[in-house]
Chain A
Amino acid sequence: MLQFFLRRTLGAAVILILISAFTFFLFFSIPQDPALLACGKNCTPDSLKIIHENLGLDKPVPVQYLEFMRGIVMGRDFAVGPCPAPCFGYSFANNQPIFDTILDRFPTTVSLTVGGAAVFLTLGLGAGMLAAWKRGSLIDKSFSSASLVLSSMQIYFLGPVVLGALVYSTNLMDSPKYTAFTENPAAWFVGLLIPWMVMATIFTANYTRMSRSTLIEQLQEEHVRTAKAKGMSGKTVFFRYAWRGSLIPIVTIFGMDLGSLFGGAMITEQTFSLAGIGRLAVDSVIKTDLPMIMGVMLFTATMILFFNVIVDAAYAFIDPRVRLS
């Protein structure tokens, strides 16, 4: 297992380096001078020159890239002060340390993701199981139809509708707001309830459909038929044989979803005015804030890779055949 993790970690490191190089060099290929961000009304060629020097943009791009990567591993010294590893530098827009900004935004994204995932996983898998269990029944048809409709919804449509119905028109709930869990757990829960519900509605539909179809597939497998033939109870067959076998594709998709959500749920954060990693990513692109773009990009990629490794490891626990191979 240790060898597995080492191998995957090394692979992930290579992928991250490639992503960082690609992002960095791609950034400099766009026809926009990032120094303009720090250059106000009196932006003359002389002012721009000073800013280029301040930001280190006067150096060749490969040199800038190497310095950036060195900072991540060893830290760097800036005019603002020392930046310990992992140092992603300081924002061109507001001189704030990139890593600290990402860490500051991460709890919002984690709260959004964990809460939303708990809801959509529970409801989605529950509904999928019930539909598969009662295949062909009214329940199955109802769930299948509902999931088809809901999965075609988008957060940017459903979000404002729910806000309009629960907040702006009826005043049943307050506008969504992030409060740190450690500060006030009740406010944390209430403040994120609407984003969780909206996010979960769309994801639940997908997980319902997926778990239903994979379970039905599993229920037709030979080992399930054998178990039934041996006289095992329907419940045992369903949960011990069919359900377990159906988990692999679900875990795979869930791992990818979780990685993406931890990297920032851009539309959800935008819709509900929450300041998480997704919002940070959008702002950094709009502002052509290179260090922030790099920081967010690498953070997001790390999250996706991390959950991919976890998913791969989880296969071994779920399916004995993977462990044996």
Chain B
Amino acid sequence: MNIAKKRRARAIVVALAAGSLALTGCSSGSKNTSEGSNTDADAAKQQAVIPLGDAAASQGPAVEVPGAKPGGTIRVYQRDNFDHLDPAQIYVSDEGLLATLYTRQLTTYKTDKNGKKVLVGDLATDSGTVSDGGKTWKFTLKDGIKFEDGKPITSADIRHSIERMYAKFITDGPTYVQQWLSGGGTEYRKALPDGPYKGKHLPDSTLETPDDKTVVFHFKDPQPDAPFALAMAAYGVVQKSKDTKEKYDAAPQATGPYKIESFKPGKSMKLVKNENWDAKTDPFRHQYVDGFDITFNHQASDSTKRLMADHGEAKTALSFTNAVDPLQTREVLQDADASKRVVKGYQPYVWQMNMNMDRIKDKKIRDAITYAMPNKQILGLNGGSYGGEVAGGLMAPTLAGYEKGYDPYGKLKKPNGDPEKAKKLLKEAGKTNMKIVYAYANTEANQKVSVVVEDALTKAGFDVQKKEVDSASWYAQMGKVKNGFDLYMTGWGQDWPSASTVIPPSYDGTQIADGASNYSHINDEHVNSEIKRISRITDIKESTKEWQKLHHYIVEKVNPAAPVYYTKQLQIYGSKIGGAEYSDTINYIDPTRLYVKK
């Protein structure tokens, strides 16, 4: 996913201000570690392929949080409103995190007793049974799973939840499963243009519910990642009789441990216990606190100050997604008390400087730009070592297949760029003083970044033409095929911990179109054919190796984008909050583990 929290409109602002957005995916963190990178053990844990859990692993209740006690209400300071609560419309990090509290899907992630991540059945008894060479996935629903009104969840509800995603009012959210079932692009909508609301349904040859407990997906092609896609919040279950279509977006029914008692958009939200949630059915979530009292409009500077002061209600408070304000990071970490109340970890995003391959066709020039890029200076303007770390490749540390130390352009050795090498390459290409149009968003941080980028490229022998672009429409403008720019920075992160959600959307030449996320317009025959081939490999370990090889090819042989930095998140919480731990899969503090200390 690109860093399109709160729509593309604010992607850059958000990422630079808060350093952070994620929905799903694998990220690792460690508690109370010192400045700098996480340990090698953490990195190794992150790079491991997440295995599919069996029925035993999918049983509840979740592993107890040491010392956890029931009771109390947690205050939550959030910057932005939750624009979508309808699971089908959820595709951004903060809404995805909230959804872990009130909605459940067929599958989910859990950490076992050994601290290992496993993909397990959530509503389903296990992570699914595959057949037909990976095209068919069968799930069986657990006993005792209910909606907040006490009605049992059946396969008809799962069918309804999938089919409503075909309706026109669902305009946001992922489309993986719909496309795998009924065709790519927006073609899938033709299979059920009105969703399930006018009595039509997907044929059994596509989606089958032979009894109340069984759901069978018949995909057009092998889809080894189906259980991972179905773990996304967007595939949360919606009860047919309670589906109010557009209105459901503000008042969804809960299936998770908490339900929404009140929601005043842009102002506040109250979550209270869902009495019909049964811990015995849930391998991942807890229900320690009585509820969450959320208010919006808290900038990172405000939430950091409140939580650092740790006074009054702030003692039992945190922010689900606000990072520690970059300007207060040092103060927080130097404060003996506050520094004990932080968690940090990698986020799934890689910031990269895209080089428009329609305009910069010579690889030597692209290499020159990559060598010239002042990664460390750019990172310094985005939170420094707590906001991320210099990137050597285009796969994030959160991704299976990431290789620590992979650095074909020497960015780790020379993080502020190598202007001499860049100059030499540019000379070899016969393009000294080449004019290059560099676009950047008109945010304060990006304006500062533009200065160091311009300086570095000028030193390398480029004639830089800077173009400032409205941050609100940044991704829309960069997403145009004929955008008129040579260089522009974008961020991208996985939807689940597989390169299949990073490499195809970013580097598949067959997907170049207005609005698509192949921002550098790479269209390489080898890359395109490999994407097609690897996407069909059903063995995840095997496919991970192949994605890794393709990543090498893209970075070294094509070089469509200069890697800039990987993102990290640092969060602080009140002194009476217990169980705060950075989640490898939510990419923020895991809200389902929290309790209030007595």
What is the bound-complex CA distance between A111 and B10, given in angstroms? 31
Say whether B9 contacts A41, CB under 8 Å: no
Say whether A54 contacts B516, CB under 8 Å: no
What is the bound-complex CA distance between A47 and B184, given in angstroms? 13
Q: Would A44 and B186 be within 8 Å (CB), given that A32-B472, A94-B83, A274-B297 are in contact?
A: yes
Say whether B472 contacts A288, CB under 8 Å: yes
Which residues on B sit within 8 Å (CB–CB) of A169? Answer: 309
Say whether A41 contacts B268, CB under 8 Å: no
Q: Would A41 and B4 be within 8 Å (CB), given that A81-B247, A168-B305 are in contact?
A: yes
The stretch among A4-12, A146-154, A275-283 that forms the contact with chain B is A275-283
B302 within 8 A of partner (CB): yes
Q: Mark A149-178, 1 if CB is under 8 A from B, else 0.
A: 000000000000001100111010011010
Say whether A40 contacts B7, CB under 8 Å: yes
Say whether B174 contacts A279, CB under 8 Å: no
Q: Which parts of B486-528 form the interface with A (CB within 8 Å)? A: 513-517
What is the bound-complex CA distance between A36 and B473, given in angstroms? 8
**Nearest Cβ on chain B to A50's Cβ, whole angstroms:** 5
Say whether A105 contacts B515, CB under 8 Å: no
**Nearest Cβ on chain A to B471's Cβ, whole angstroms:** 10
Say whether A43 contacts B479, CB under 8 Å: yes
What is the bound-complex CA distance between A168 and B297, given in angstroms? 18
**Nearest Cβ on chain A to B551's Cβ, whole angstroms:** 21
Interface residue tally for chain A (C-beta within 8 Å): 52
Q: Mark B263-292, 1 if CB is under 8 A from A, else 0.
A: 011111000000000000000000000000
A286 within 8 A of partner (CB): yes
Say whether A41 contacts B250, CB under 8 Å: no
Say whether B246 contacts A41, CB under 8 Å: no
Which residues on B sit within 8 Å (CB–CB) of A46? Answer: 185-186
**Nearest Cβ on chain B to A38's Cβ, whole angstroms:** 5
Say whether A44 contacts B513, CB under 8 Å: yes
What is the bound-complex CA distance between A108 and B92, given in angstroms? 29
Say whether A175 contacts B81, CB under 8 Å: no
B466 within 8 A of partner (CB): no
Q: Would A36 and B476 be within 8 Å (CB), given that A43-B8, A104-B267, A168-B309 are in contact?
A: yes
B84 within 8 A of partner (CB): yes
Say whether A32 contacts B473, CB under 8 Å: yes
A79 within 8 A of partner (CB): yes
Say whether A39 contacts B172, CB under 8 Å: yes
Which residues on B sit within 8 Å (CB–CB) of A286? Answer: 9-10, 472
Q: Would A36 and B268 be within 8 Å (CB), given that A42-B174, A44-B516, A80-B246 are in contact?
A: no
Say whether B297 contacts A275, CB under 8 Å: yes
What is the bound-complex CA distance between A149 and B444, given in angstroms? 30
B329 within 8 A of partner (CB): no
A95 within 8 A of partner (CB): yes
A51 within 8 A of partner (CB): yes
- From A37, A168, A175, B9 is in contact (CB under 8 Å) with A37
Which residues on B sit within 8 Å (CB–CB) of A96? Answer: 250, 265
Q: Which parts of A21-55 form the interface with B (CB within 8 Å)? A: 31-33, 36-48, 50-51, 53-54
What is the bound-complex CA distance between A79 and B237, given in angstroms? 23
Which residues on B sit within 8 Å (CB–CB) of A163? Answer: 305
**Nearest Cβ on chain A to B325's Cβ, whole angstroms:** 12
Which residues on A sit within 8 Å (CB–CB) of B407? Answer: none
Which residues on B sit within 8 Å (CB–CB) of A220? Answer: none
Say whether A41 contacts B1, CB under 8 Å: yes
Say whether B247 contacts A47, CB under 8 Å: no
Say whether B314 contacts A48, CB under 8 Å: no
Q: Would A80 and B247 be within 8 Å (CB), given that A32-B470, A36-B7, A280-B266 are in contact?
A: yes
Q: What residue of chain A has the Cβ atom nearest to residue B2's Cβ? A: A41
What is the bound-complex CA distance between A93 and B472, given in angstroms? 14
- From A43, A105, A171, B309 is in contact (CB under 8 Å) with A171
A226 within 8 A of partner (CB): no
- From B89, B297, B313, A174 is in contact (CB under 8 Å) with B313
Say whether A40 contacts B249, CB under 8 Å: no
Say whether B247 contacts A38, CB under 8 Å: no
- From A50, A175, A273, A274, B171 is in contact (CB under 8 Å) with A50
A101 within 8 A of partner (CB): yes
Which residues on B sit within 8 Å (CB–CB) of A167? Answer: 305-306, 309, 311
Q: Which parts of A76-124 form the interface with B (CB within 8 Å)? A: 79-81, 91, 93-96, 101, 104-105, 108
Which residues on B sit within 8 Å (CB–CB) of A223? Answer: none
Say whether B7 contacts A279, CB under 8 Å: no
Could you name 16 residue pairs across A and B whose Cβ atoms are closer than 8 Å?
A37-B7, A40-B4, A40-B89, A44-B516, A45-B513, A45-B514, A53-B168, A81-B246, A94-B250, A101-B266, A167-B305, A167-B309, A174-B312, A269-B297, A273-B299, A287-B9
A interface, CB within 8 angstroms of B: 31-33, 36-48, 50-51, 53-54, 79-81, 91, 93-96, 101, 104-105, 108, 163-164, 167-169, 171, 174-175, 177, 269-270, 273-275, 279-280, 283, 286-288
B interface, CB within 8 angstroms of A: 1-2, 4, 6-10, 77, 81, 83-84, 89, 91-92, 168-169, 171-175, 185-186, 189, 245-247, 249-250, 264-268, 295-299, 302, 305-306, 308-309, 311-314, 470, 472-473, 476, 479, 513-517
Q: Which 7 A-B pairs have the closest CB atoms?
A: A40-B172, A275-B267, A46-B186, A171-B311, A80-B246, A174-B312, A168-B309
